[in-house]
Structure 1
Amino acid sequence: MHDTSNISRGVWAGHCFDITTWARHADETRGAEWKDVSEEVASEIAGIWEAEYGPDWRETVCNLWYQTYGR
């Protein structure tokens, strides 16, 4: 890909994603500060795809997927 960002660094790099309930999370973190970085990460991912496929990347990727798998 043509993206020039440092994808190996960021708020999410090196972390794993766990699916859990809110109650379990609250119990395990015991009130430790937690920040939802979903929007920030989604924006970074969109920038990477835009660098590769241009500003209409969503449509382009959907069309490529359909041409490959949709028939």
Structure 2
Amino acid sequence: MDTQTTTMIVTGMTCGHCVASVTEELKEVPGVTEVRVPDLVKGGDTEVFVESEGPLDVPAAEAAVVEAGYTSRV
């Protein structure tokens, strides 16, 4: 199956612990193989790159970010 990368914009992360929480929750989404956060924008909108096998289940990914305590959009 093809690997796809989806860019999510996550709002409100301020530190490495925030990144770890979001990453951990996103990796629970079926099909997600990797999560990358190259540049944290403290308290602002941060790009999060989610790699998945096939299309990302966007509603599940957004729910995972909410579970971590943040908001997102694709």
With normalisation by structure 2, the TM-score equals 0.28
More strand by share: 2
Rg: which structure is higher? Answer: 1
More helix by share: 1
With normalisation by structure 1, the TM-score equals 0.29
